[in-house]
A = this chain, B = another copy of it.
Amino acid sequence: MAETVFINCFEVPEGRDEEFLGLWSQIDERMCEHKGFRWRRLYRSLAPDAKLRYVNVAGWDSAEEFDAAHDEDFPRLQAQMWEFPALPSLYTVVRERIAQPEETDR
């Protein structure tokens, strides 16, 4: 079944990682409980001066289920995140490639 992917890129100043992760985890815990959630990965940049220091990528069954997961608690939780500018959007996979097994001498 096709997958809808939510990607959210965050600007998090150095030194505020713990604060960000605490808030992010509160929202994440709720979202992952909802119907349609498949998987998510949170990435942190290796470069401390990257603009988008955190990127959250999450697979959902559909945009409808992702939207429905934003329940009555969501605005309150999200409000606390406003200090960290974010660029959220829903995406679809347009190209996919996995490395072929390495060739070996025969």
Contact = CB atoms under 8 A, between A and B. Distances in A.
This chain's copy number in the assembly: 2
B42 A95 contact: yes
A55 B90 CA distance: 11
A77 B37 CA distance: 38
A89 B42 contact: no
Task: Classify the interface of chain A: helix, strand, loop or mixed.
Answer: strand
A37 to B, nearest CB: 5
18 contacts: A7-B55, A9-B9, A21-B94, A25-B95, A28-B97, A32-B99, A40-B96, A42-B93, A42-B94, A44-B92, A44-B94, A46-B63, A46-B90, A46-B92, A47-B90, A51-B87, A52-B87, A54-B94
